[in-house]
Chain A
Amino acid sequence: MVEQLLILGVVASAVYALLSLGFTLSFGIARIVNMAHGSFFMLGAYFYFYYGARGFGKLDVFPSLILAAITVAIIGAVFYRLAIHSVMGDDVALIVVTIGGALVFQQAVTIIFGTGHVTINPLMEGAIHISNVAVTYSKILAITISLSLFACISIFISKTKMGRAMKALSQDREAAMLMGINTEALATLTVAIAGAMGAVAGTLIPASTSQMADPFMWTPPLTIAFAVVILGGLGSIKGTLVGALILGFSETAVGLYFPEGGFLKTAVALGVMVTVLLIRPRGLFGKRIELEE
């Protein structure tokens, strides 16, 4: 039981971390509460399906994964320039525009691919047994990809010049502008990276679990990303990892120890989030951000 909890918990946490990373970046750096982040997830799954299983000469797993990430990154950047950009600074308008965008993506996918499920190819066939728990190679691959991407992004933010510029942008937009940083280009890039992260998560999660995708699959990951990010503190990369671990393990524990209460998984996860917020309104690693500015 304990091994099972450990293994499944790590699997869940790793992909949650990747899923929430994009959301953290777009909130922490570009200050966008992106309700359309779940649709990046959904679009990622669909583009992976499209490149791999349908058109484009049936590409292999990895080329289609990379192409899907790039496509969604471009969609994210265009969406930022066309829609989000003009309503920055107004919380409600931002939320309405991003919800609207999410609904538009959902309907567009419905019109193109239909309302039903499509089948997502697994990353790899086969499974390995770790102390009586069958772990598919897909899952192991998903964990590896998520964690290495997570590491890459944190190194990118803390070590490279552009990453530091992003940090500057997150601390003070005006001061960053005065230092000669092209804030608009940087914000666009951030949303594009967030889109790519969302798309990779959107491929890895269905490919390693249910192997299905449908146009309405964007709300559960959206709420999970929210919960993880709020738990860890909005805009903190370290917090995202910790939040993902807490959420991943608590959900897995509920699923394992109360199999009949599977519906309560979400409730417990979100309940944990609300409890943490009550004790620490900024989240575990959140900095005090003046939101009124």
Chain B
Amino acid sequence: MVTIYLRRAYRSFALHILDIPSRLMALLLIVLFLAIPGILPANPLMSYLLSVLITASVMAIFASSWDLLVGRCGQISLGHSIFYGVGAYTTALLFRSYGLPSWVGILIGVLIAAAISLPIGFPALRVKGPYLALVTLALPLIATSIVFALKDITGGENGLPIPVEGRFFQLTNIHNLRIAEYYLTFLLLLVSAIIIHKIANSRTGIVFVSILDDEMASKACGINVTRYKLMAFAISATFAGLAGGVNVHLLLSASHGDFSLTLSFFAVIMAVLGGMGTIYGAIVGSYIIYFLDMYFLRMVVDVPDVWHVLIFIVPVVLLVIKWPRGIARFVTDELEDLSEERPLEERGKRIWKKYRRKKKSANEG
């Protein structure tokens, strides 16, 4: 009895994951990233590398939320950091003033970020294309000046530091702390990415793409375009707020930098580098950029900080011009080309045997 279920589970696993090269690669990458803390030796440099990867995971959540809104639904947002900042400030305020458990604070932050996406999204959706980009660009700037104006509540320039008890884990060994936070953020990223990916490929996601392709035609098909656009805004804001809230408990402070234009621009750059509209591209892009910027160029080759932006912006711009599909999508396309076309009923069964047979025949030939 049990074996039947096991076999069935394996078959489904093989059909949906092992047999599709890009998914197999994603699985291998996930396993690799789960194994990283075990492979790395425990020294300060590696703790630093882990903290870079932690930041990359958080930013990957942020960038993929942007990708859902822009790459899938076509609502160009250049002020995505407003949701990030709202999530961060709410979390920090709740923790400082009421001492709520960190997860409750983050949850409320996420809810508030999602809630403000409606009053923001509703007017913003009256305008389209470049106009929308410019309007959304203004929002985090308004938020920044409010942060500076309400110094008593938001701390103004100094931001809102939270006490050390705000960490997710109360570990004294810094390396172990980083490992724990690394697993936490990585799993959070995995869960968020799977949810965003599922939404993007659900019926709702297909409606999003139809709005991206042709808004008038979608309207003509009886789709309530405003409702779906707001939905995209709200889902996107939810994950952006999550990234902001989690980051507060990692960095132990919220600052006006959480509303900065640079943050929004980086989300754009990361998502475009990986491949817009793919969701996983945003994740790949953010790992590449953070690894390059904060680890490789700083620790391995030690380039002065002023050169970093040049070193990764110039390739990104060239990539967008020459190769607009992005890195991640290019890799998956190549992988899909490697796999052979087989009818569905043959897929999933005995793939390894078949591979061996193919190899044998190749040897004989």
Query: Closest chain B residue to A230 by CB distance?
Result: B134
Q: How far is the CA of A107 from the CA of B312 in the complex (A)?
A: 12
CB pair B135 A104 closer than 8 Å: no
Residues on B with C-beta less than 8 A from A267 are 141-142, 145-146, 149
Q: How far is the CA of A69 from the CA of B306 in the complex (A)?
A: 26
Could you tell me the distance in whole angstroms from the C-beta of B329 to the nearest C-beta in chain A? Answer: 14
Residues on B with C-beta less than 8 A from A273 are 135, 138
Q: Mark A244-278, 1 if CB is under 8 A from B, else 0.
A: 00000000000000000101111100110110011
Residues on B with C-beta less than 8 A from A107 are 306-307, 309-310, 313
- Cβ of B133 < 8 Å from any Cβ of A? yes
Q: Mark B146-176, 1 if CB is under 8 A from A, else 0.
A: 1011000000000000000000000000000
- Cβ of A285 < 8 Å from any Cβ of B? no
CB within 8 A of B127: which of A103, A226, A281? A281
Q: Which of B105-151 contact A (CB under 8 A)?
A: 123, 126-131, 133-135, 137-138, 141-142, 144-146, 148-149
Could you tell me the distance in whole angstroms from the C-beta of B76 to the nearest C-beta in chain A? Answer: 6
Residues on A with C-beta less than 8 A from B123 are 274, 277-278
- Cβ of A172 < 8 Å from any Cβ of B? no
Q: A91-B76, A92-B272, A111-B307 are in contact. Are A274 and B321 (CB under 8 A)?
A: no
Q: A103-B309, A291-B130 are in contact. Are A223 and B316 (CB under 8 A)?
A: no
Query: Closest chain B residue to A223 by CB distance?
Result: B141
Q: A104-B310, A270-B141, A274-B138 are in contact. Are A93 and B324 (CB under 8 A)?
A: yes
Residues on B with C-beta less than 8 A from A111 are 306-307, 310
Could you tell me the distance in whole angstroms from the C-beta of B235 to the nearest C-beta in chain A? Answer: 19
Q: Which listed segment binds B: A4-12, A82-90, A194-202? A: A82-90
B interface majority secondary structure: helix
CB pair B131 A281 closer than 8 Å: yes
Residues on B with C-beta less than 8 A from A106 are 309
CB pair B130 A91 closer than 8 Å: yes
Q: A86-B321, A219-B261 are in contact. Are A230 and B135 (CB under 8 A)?
A: yes
CB pair B137 A226 closer than 8 Å: yes
Q: A111-B307, A278-B123, A281-B131 are in contact. Are A104 and B76 (CB under 8 A)?
A: no
- Cβ of A227 < 8 Å from any Cβ of B? yes
Q: How far is the CA of A101 from the CA of B324 in the complex (A)?
A: 16
- Cβ of B199 < 8 Å from any Cβ of A? no
CB within 8 A of B129: which of A103, A110, A263, A291? A291
Q: How far is the CA of A291 from the CA of B134 in the complex (A)?
A: 14
Residues on A with C-beta less than 8 A from B269 are 96, 99-100
Residues on B with C-beta less than 8 A from A27 are 130
Q: A27-B130, A261-B149, A277-B123 are in contact. Are A103 and B141 (CB under 8 A)?
A: no
CB within 8 A of B316: which of A87, A92, A100, A234? A100
Residues on B with C-beta less than 8 A from A103 are 265, 309, 313
Instruction: Indicate the size class of the contact surface on chain A.
Output: 35 or more
Residues on A with C-beta less than 8 A from B135 are 230, 273-274, 277
Query: Closest chain A residue to B144 by CB distance?
Result: A266
Q: How far is the CA of A291 from the CA of B265 in the complex (A)?
A: 23
Q: How far is the CA of A115 from the CA of B305 in the complex (A)?
A: 11
- Cβ of B52 < 8 Å from any Cβ of A? no
Q: How far is the CA of A112 from the CA of B324 in the complex (A)?
A: 31
Q: A104-B310, A110-B306 are in contact. Are A96 and B130 (CB under 8 A)?
A: no
Q: Which of A144-181 contact B (CB under 8 A)?
A: none
Could you tell me the distance in whole angstroms from the C-beta of B261 to the nearest C-beta in chain A? Answer: 6
CB pair A281 B130 closer than 8 Å: no
Q: How far is the CA of A111 from the CA of B144 in the complex (A)?
A: 28
Query: Closest chain B residue to A98 by CB distance?
Result: B317
Q: Mark B56-88, 1 if CB is under 8 A from A, else 0.
A: 000000000000001000001010000000000
Q: How far is the CA of A274 from the CA of B136 in the complex (A)?
A: 10
Query: Closest chain B residue to A280 by CB distance?
Result: B126
- Cβ of A186 < 8 Å from any Cβ of B? no
Q: Which of A115-156 contact B (CB under 8 A)?
A: 115
- Cβ of B314 < 8 Å from any Cβ of A? yes
CB within 8 A of B317: which of A100, A265, A266, A274? A100
Q: A90-B324, A104-B310, A219-B261 are in contact. Are A270 and B272 (CB under 8 A)?
A: no
CB within 8 A of A277: which of B76, B127, B137? B127
Could you tell me the distance in whole angstroms from the C-beta of B212 to the nearest C-beta in chain A? Answer: 11
- Taking A104-B310, A281-B126 as known contacts, 7 extra A-B pairs with beta carbons closer than 8 A to each other, sorted by chain A number, are A91-B130, A93-B320, A264-B146, A267-B146, A273-B138, A274-B135, A274-B142
13 A-B residue pairs with Cβ-Cβ distance under 8 Å, sorted by A, are A27-B130, A86-B322, A92-B70, A92-B268, A96-B272, A97-B317, A100-B314, A107-B307, A108-B310, A223-B138, A267-B146, A270-B141, A291-B129
Nearest 7 pairs between A and B by C-beta?
Answer: A263-B148, A100-B317, A267-B145, A270-B138, A291-B129, A33-B130, A263-B149
